Structure 1
Amino acid sequence: MEVIFSEKANTQFTNCAINDKKRYNKIIVLIESIINEPFEGIGKPEPLKGNLSGFWSRRINRECRLVYSVANDAIYIVQCKYHY
């Protein structure tokens, strides 16, 4: 499965790689879990509602969420910092 980052998510992910290795490593683990089981697994996956209907969220830590969707054999990451 291909993993595609939005521009915003890519910037957040890159900043994590430089400034917050713990969060960066957790994001990697969550993405691996999404590849294996997109809607189950670690990080308490939950479908989002309202404006973000069709997207899912997983907990990175107490304050940050990984927001993504899955379509056409690809995972689209739209956010990996803060809440939605």
Structure 2
Amino acid sequence: MTYGVRLVLSKKTRAAVFQPEFIEDLRFWVETDRKLALRAFDLIEAILRDPFEGIGKPEPLKYFTPGAWSRRLTQEHRVVYLVREEQIDFLQARYHY
């Protein structure tokens, strides 16, 4: 069982659940590349507004868990998240899926 940080912005939006690996990845970007850290936060905001459209070229992941999507952080790194009816699980923010 993993534990994540849960954030609920309003009744209209899905809850955001940040898995430990995702938090670790964000911490890595804050310590090593602040520009990428800010981009990651921009992607998080965009995903919470609309998980299927927006910046970062959202794409469903075919060979991952059903409901999993990714957005480009850089050419090499992706933000991977899982869209559920009432929440979005943020899974990772480094490397490819």
Question: Over alpha carbons, which structure has the higher Rg?
Answer: 2
> When the two structures are superposed, what TM-score results if normalisation uses the length of structure 2?
0.79
Match of 1:40 in 2: 53
Match of 2:77 in 1: 64
Picking from 2, 13, 16, the partner of 1:3 is 16
CA distance in 1, matches of 2:48, 2:40: 12
Where structure 1 has 5 or more consecutive residues not aligned to the other structure, the ranges are: none
CA distance in 2, matches of 1:48, 1:34: 15
Determine helix, strand or coil for the equivalent of 2:76. coil
Where structure 2 has 5 or more consecutive residues not aligned to the other structure, the ranges are: 1-13
User: Which protein, 1 or 2, shows the higher relative CO under an 8 Å CA cutoff with sep ≥ 6?
Assistant: 1
Cα shift at 1:12 = 0.8
Q: Does 1:22 align with 2:35?
A: yes
Structure number with the higher helix fraction is 1
Determine helix, strand or coil for the equivalent of 1:10. helix
RMSD of aligned Cα (Å): 1.3
CA distance in 2, matches of 1:2, 1:18: 26
How much identity, in percent, do the aligned residues show? 40
